[in-house]
Amino acid sequence: MTPMKLFSIALPVLLGAGLLAAQGGALRGTQPTDLGVKDGRLKAPSATRNSVSSQAGLYPEHPQNGYASIEPLPLKGGDVVASLTALSKALQSVPGVTVLDQQPDYLYAQAQTRWLKFVDDMEFWANPATGVLELRSASRLGREDFGANRQRIEAVRAAYLAQP
């Protein structure tokens, strides 16, 4: 068998095995244990280009400060309960997103990609000092998300702002 013929057989087999492994959860990664609000801050942005955070400015020396920076969500009429309710509905309208924890001032969700099953962690916190919903969204795996977290957060923002 020629090397080219062997390659033409092996490549689809390897791609199929990779897709099966991804569908089985091999690319989910592990949920970080340091999420949540600590001292009025969400976790810092990732060290690589795979996260966004409305609190990136709190970390001025962070290597991804500029890339990660994104605007927070405004509170709806200054009401935290109404804002988190609207946010939960908005998140449910985005494909692949599941809300896993909702507290009086904090919401945690996961976003999973359709084919490769990559998981991103999303956090939202009603900041009483600034009157906004601070947010952070980060990929668990990889060094680059090609803007996926920013695009998803902007889709969430649009759905949230459309809520009454």
Three-class HEC string of 45-114: CCCCECEEECCHHHCCCCCCHHHHECCCEECECCEHHHHHHHHHHHHHCCCCEEEEEECCCEEEEEEECC
d(CA 11, CA 14): 5
The reported pTM is: 0.82
Contact 41, 56 (CB under 8 A): no
- Under DSSP, the state recorded for 140 is S
The torsion angles phi and psi of 137, rounded to 5 degrees, stand at -140, 125
Quote the CA–CA distance of 114 and 19 in Å, as a whole number.
11
Closest CA to 134 of 49, 57, 48, 31: 57
The pLDDT score that the predictor gives to residue 20 is: 44
- Beta-carbon contacts of residue 74 (< 8 Å; ≥ 6 apart): 132, 133
Provide the pLDDT for residue 63: 87
Question: How far apart are the C-alpha atoms of 108 and 27, rounded to whole Å?
Answer: 20
- One digit per residue, pLDDT tens: the chain, 164 residues? 776 665 566 445 444 444 444 445 555 689 899 999 999 999 999 999 999 999 999 998 988 988 999 999 999 999 999 999 999 999 999 999 999 999 999 999 999 987 788 999 999 999 999 999 999 999 999 888 899 999 999 999 999 999 98
Residue 111 token pair:
């976003």
Residue 164: per-residue pLDDT: 86
